[in-house]
């Protein structure tokens, strides 16, 4: 069974927006997806010192070196 539910990460804990239809002590496997653009998802993983908004702009399609003006 696959479920998709939103949650908020707070103080080291994921807080779900609604209860899950699972049994107590049932083991599950999680995949976490962060909403937003590529830069926002990878922000903090590289040595970038600027803001996520600046990185999003720099990686945007208008700055693609393969696009001809």
Domain contains 53: yes
Domain contains 52: yes
- Provide the residue count of the chain: 69
Domain contains 67: yes
Domain contains 30: no
Confidence tier at 67 by pLDDT (50, 70, 90): low
Distance in angstroms (rounded) separating the CA atoms of residues 23 and 46? 39
| Contact between residue 7 and residue 18 where contact means Cβ atoms under 8 Å apart | no
Residue 15's pLDDT is 94
Domain contains 45: yes
Please, what is the average pLDDT of the chain?
A: 80
Domain contains 13: no
Domain contains 43: yes
Domain that holds residue 42: 37-69
Residue 23: is its pLDDT beyond 70? Answer: yes
Domain count of the chain? 1
């Amino acid at each position: 069974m696959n479920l998709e539910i939103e949650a908020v990460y707070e103080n080291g804990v994921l807080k779900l927006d609604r209860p899950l239809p699972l049994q107590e002590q049932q083991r599950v496997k999680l995949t976490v997806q962060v909403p937003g653009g590529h830069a926002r998802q990878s922000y903090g993983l590289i040595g970038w010192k600027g803001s996520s908004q600046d990185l999003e702009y720099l990686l945007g399609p208008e700055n693609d070196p393969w696009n001809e003006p």
